[in-house]
Structure formats: structure tokens, C-alpha cells
């Protein structure tokens, strides 16, 4: 009885936030969290001197890191779980679905994203895991053609997983999405299914609200423990992609507080250390949008800053000013959200060959490409002899959507050889 109940996915566990959050982030999730993810996720160090250097179709990424004596660490949140659940969204869903399950009334979830949304895919699978019905709204340029029966939503990448778990899929065109906004669209689907006697719980784009973002407060605490017990002496830079802002908010607020800024006590192992510089690469929208969004999410989490911290390396202030000082957001969207440039795809291919780590085209590939080729190259000396941690947030299923473009690149590096009798 006891044993079997401990394996239940639909019963929340209590959540105790780290002591350095106390009194600063005040809206601690009341209903705890589920335990769905494989935590802690590993950190892998990229070996700058390995034999794979130069194996790619463009210039070597690892040689450049070696020249600057940079240690690149990758936090593998692509490995939070199996394919259907994997990525950063699962950390947020642990808190969001615990909240949904706290009321026996809710029987379904409504959320929204792009056609290849990792968030919708992970949400749909997690819903089934805990016994809720998934309703997902996908933004697609093919909405009209699909509605007219001239096209089909198909089974490419994330959509295959959405459909495998029996999601109800609603389509919306990019124009309608821009006009109506995601909140209105979610509300309208909720109203529609309420008329069918459903009781929907809504989750915003990317799960980025004052509840889901706790997943990344917890993730930072996990990272701090890993650093504390590792031989990484200082963490100089933390780099990641930002889309809906929740991951960026959790990492920025969590790290600042772990290092004892703004009235907090800090984590005992970190309070005397210089906090890492935080770099968020936007894959859509403009940096100002992200600073505002992050500030709104932090306010939803009940952030309460005071002007002095135990760590003199941090400064003071209001939420948006705090965010602007704590993190630098870049415009790394390139050709636009979910559109790849040739250079980005070359980079992903080379990185995979040189490291064995597969990035995704929409978030992580764009973000690391932008950071290493633009941010770092603007002033390489700043990064010489540093430890950089790139937070891999998942998304590799999105590669299926770029199959043809990737195939061209792979044909130069991956060879297919027929075994014939002369070889044996």
C-alpha cells in the first residue's frame, strides 16, 4: 500500500524552498510539486581537446574555446525525462500540475504554443500521466489550409507526440494569434469545453507564470548543490535561451538570491563569491519585452527586494531595475522564431559532431550560436580563462521539422557504406 502510493504521479509532494529565498519570494506554491523529472540533471564538460575537433562542416567550435581557454559546461535539462516529457517545461509542469490536481474539480488542461511547441508536447504527455485531458492550441501558418481540408496537421516532430497521447488540437493562424493574444485564445477554448461539462485548468504560453517558474528556482538550487560538490571553483557565466521568460526569470532570480543579493542570506557556499554573469538569448521578441515579462513574473512570485544583501558584489532595487541589472538579454532571434539561418544549422551540426550533444533549432541552437559567435566575439578577452555554463533546455524533437536542411549538412559528415563481400 505504502510502496505503491509512493509511485503515484498524481499526488503532490511538499515543496520547501531554499532558505535564501525566505522572505524575498513570498508566493511559495501552496500545493507543492509533482515528481516527474529525473533530477538532478547531469552537467557535462565539453572537452576542448578531444579528437572530434574539425569534424564539422564549418570552422571548429572547440578549437576556438581551447584558444580562449574556456571551460564550457552543459547542464542537461534536455534529459529531465524521456522523449515525450523531456526539456525545461517538465520542471514547470511539476508545479503547475500539482496546482491543478489540488482541486478535484479540474479534469482537463488548456494551453497554447507554436506548431512545434515543446511546451504543448510535454504538457499533453504529463496530463495523461496524471489523468487529465490535454487540449492544446497550436499556432500554424497552415491553419486555414488544414481547416479547408487541403492540408493535414501531420505527424512531424512534436505533433506526433501530441497526437500519440490523444490531445485535442485547436489551430490558430499567426495573424489571429497576434490579434487576439494567447490569453484570449486559451479563455475561448476553456469556455467552449466548459459547455461540454469539462472543468479546464489553463496554463499560459510556456508554463511561464508565478507558479511554473518555481521549477527554475528549484533548478538553480540543484545547480548550486552540484557546483558546491564539484571541482568548478567559480561559475563565471550562465547562458541559456529565453522564449516565454519563465526559465530566464527562475534562473536570474534564483542565482541572484543564491549569491546573497538583495537582503537575502545567500547559499552558505556562495555568499562570498562573485555571482556569475547571466546571459539570456531571446529567440523571439525584443530584449525590452523580456525585461518587462521577467519582471512581471517575478512580481507574480511575490518578489520583495531590499536594498542590502549579505554579498557586497550585488546592488539594490525595484523589480524591473533588478532584472535589468541581474541579466543581459540579447536579441538572438536571427530569421525569427522557429526560422533557422544557414549558419545556425551549420553550428548545430558541427556542435553535434564535436561534442555528441544535439541542440535544437528553435531555442538552444540559436542561443548558443548567438552567444559564441556574437556576444563572445565582440570582446573575447572578457571570456578568456572562464567557466561558462550553458543550460541545455531540450527541444531536439524540433529537429524533425528541419529534416531536409539538416540532411544536406549531414551528407558531408555522415557516410553510409554498404557492406559487401569484399569487405568481409
Q: At what angle do helices 319-326 and 246-258 cross, to 10 degrees?
A: 80
Assess 242 for contact with ligand PLP (CB under 6 A): yes
Nearer to ligand PLP, 270 or 294 (CB): 294
Shortest Cβ contact with ligand PLP: which residue? 395
Judge whether 117 counts as a catalytic residue.
Answer: yes
Nearer to ligand PLP, 157 or 264 (CB): 157
Closest approach of Cβ 148 to ligand PLP, in Å?
A: 30
The yes or no reply on residue 243 touching ligand PLP (CB under 6 A) is: yes
Among 80, 125, 247, 349, binds ligand PLP (CB under 6 A): 247
Q: Which of 60, 81, 117, 256 is catalytic?
A: 117
Q: Determine, following the binding rule CB under 6 A, whether residue 157 of this chain makes contact with ligand PLP.
A: no
**Residues 101 to 120 in contact with ligand PLP, rule: CB under 6 A:** 118-119
Query: Does residue 245 interact with ligand PLP by CB under 6 A?
Result: yes
User: Looking at beta carbons only, is 242 or 319 nearer to ligand PLP?
Assistant: 242
Is residue 365 close enough to count as binding ligand PLP by CB under 6 A? no
395 binds ligand PLP (CB under 6 A): yes
Nearer to ligand PLP, 48 or 118 (CB): 118
Stretch that binds ligand PLP, among 87-95, 96-104, 143-151, 179-187 (CB under 6 A): 87-95
Which candidate, 167, 166, 176, 98, places its Cα nearest to that of 143?
A: 176
C-alpha–C-alpha distance, residues 45 and 268, integer Å: 25
Q: Which residue's CB is nearer to ligand PLP, number 244 or number 386?
A: 244
Cis? peptide before 278, omega within 30° of 0: no
Establish if 360 lies at the interface with ligand PLP (CB under 6 A): yes
Per-residue contact flags (x/-) with ligand PLP for residues 189 to 208, judged by CB under 6 A: -----------------x-x
- Binding residues for ligand PLP, rule CB under 6 A, total 21
Piece of the chain touching ligand PLP by CB under 6 A; list 194-202, 334-342, 350-358, 359-367: 359-367
> By CB under 6 A, is residue 248 in contact with ligand PLP?
yes
Q: Which of 48, 116, 364, 387 binds ligand PLP (CB under 6 A)?
A: 364
Asked whether position 241 contacts ligand PLP by CB under 6 A, the answer is: yes
Catalytic site positions: 117
Chain positions contacting ligand PLP, by CB under 6 A:
87-89, 118-119, 206, 208, 241-248, 360, 363-364, 393-395
Amino acid at each position: 500500500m505504502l510502496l505503491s502510493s509512493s509511485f503515484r504521479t498524481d499526488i503532490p509532494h511538499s515543496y520547501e524552498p531554499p532558505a535564501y529565498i525566505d522572505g524575498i519570494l513570498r508566493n511559495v506554491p501552496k500545493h507543492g510539486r509533482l515528481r516527474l523529472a529525473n533530477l538532478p540533471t547531469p552537467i557535462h564538460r565539453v572537452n576542448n581537446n578531444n579528437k572530434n575537433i574539425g569534424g564539422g562542416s564549418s570552422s571548429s567550435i572547440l578549437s576556438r574555446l581551447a584558444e580562449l581557454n574556456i571551460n564550457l559546461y552543459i547542464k542537461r535539462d534536455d534529459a529531465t525525462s524521456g522523449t515525450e516529457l523531456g526539456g525545461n517545461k517538465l520542471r514547470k509542469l511539476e508545479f503547475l500540475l500539482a496546482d491543478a490536481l489540488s482541486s478535484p474539480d479540474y479534469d482537463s488542461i488548456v494551453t497554447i504554443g507554436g506548431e512545434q511547441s515543446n511546451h504543448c508536447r510535454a504538457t499533453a504527455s504529463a496530463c495523461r500521466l496524471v489523468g487529465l485531458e490535454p487540449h492544446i492550441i497550436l499556432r500554424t501558418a497552415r491553419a486555414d489550409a488544414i481547416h479547408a481540408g487541403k492540408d493535414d496537421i501531420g505527424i512531424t516532430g512534436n505533433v506526433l507526440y501530441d497526437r500519440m497521447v490523444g490531445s485535442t488540437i485547436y489551430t490558430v493562424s499567426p495573424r489571429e494569434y497576434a490579434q487576439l493574444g494567447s490569453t484570449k485564445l486559451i479563455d475561448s477554448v476553456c469556455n467552449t469545453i466548459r459547455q461540454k461539462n469539462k472543468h479546464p485548468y489553463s496554463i499560459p504560453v510556456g508554463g511561464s507564470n508565478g507558479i511554473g517558474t518555481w521549477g527554475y528556482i528549484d533548478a538553480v538550487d540543484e545547480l548550486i548543490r552540484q557546483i558546491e560538490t564539484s571541482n568548478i571553483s567559480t561559475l563565471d557565466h550562465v547562458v541559456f535561451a529565453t522564449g516565454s521568460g519563465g526559465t530566464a526569470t527562475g534562473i536570474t532570480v534564483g542565482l541572484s538570491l543564491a549569491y546573497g543579493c538583495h537582503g537575502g542570506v545567500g547559499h552558505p557556499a556562495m555568499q562570498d563569491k562573485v555571482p556569475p554573469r547571466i546571459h539570456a538569448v531571446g529567440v523571439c521578441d525584443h530584449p525590452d519585452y523580456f525585461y518587462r515579462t521577467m519582471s512581471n513574473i517575478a512580481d507574480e512570485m511575490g518578489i520583495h527586494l531590499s536594498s542590502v544583501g549579505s554579498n557586497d558584489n550585488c546592488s539594490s532595487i525595484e523589480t524591473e531595475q533588478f532584472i535589468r541589472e541581474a541579466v543581459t538579454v540579447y536579441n538572438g532571434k536571427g530569421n525569427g522564431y522557429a526560422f533557422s539561418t544557414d549558419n545556425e544549422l551549420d553550428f548545430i551540426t558541427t556542435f553535434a559532431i564535436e561534442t555528441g550533444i544535439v541542440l535544437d533549432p528553435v531555442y538552444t541552437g540559436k542561443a548558443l550560436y548567438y552567444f559564441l559567435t556574437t556576444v563572445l566575439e565582440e570582446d573575447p578577452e572578457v571570456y578568456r580563462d572562464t567557466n561558462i555554463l550553458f543550460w541545455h533546455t531540450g527541444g531536439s524533437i524540433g529537429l524533425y521539422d528541419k529534416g531536409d536542411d539538416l540532411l544536406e549538412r549531414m551528407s558531408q559528415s555522415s557516410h553510409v557504406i554498404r557492406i559487401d563481400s569484399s569487405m568481409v
